[in-house]
A = this chain, B = another copy of it.
Amino acid sequence: MTISLDQARTIVDAALAHGTAQGFNPLTVAVLDPGGAVVALARQDGSGFLRPDLATAKASGVLALGMTNRAIAARAADSPEFFTSVANLAGGKILSVPGGVFVRDAEGTLLGAVGVTGDLSLNDEAAAVAGIEAAGLVAVTGAEQ
| A contacts, CB < 8 Å to B | 1-2, 4-5, 8-9, 25-26, 33-54, 57, 63-67, 73, 76, 79-97, 118
Contact = CB atoms under 8 A, between A and B. Distances in A.
A67 B48 contact: yes
9 contacts: A5-B43, A5-B44, A34-B49, A35-B36, A38-B41, A41-B42, A48-B66, A53-B89, A85-B96
Contact of A52 (B37, B47, B94): B37
Contacts of A92: 85, 88-89
Contacts of A118: 66
A8 B52 CA distance: 14
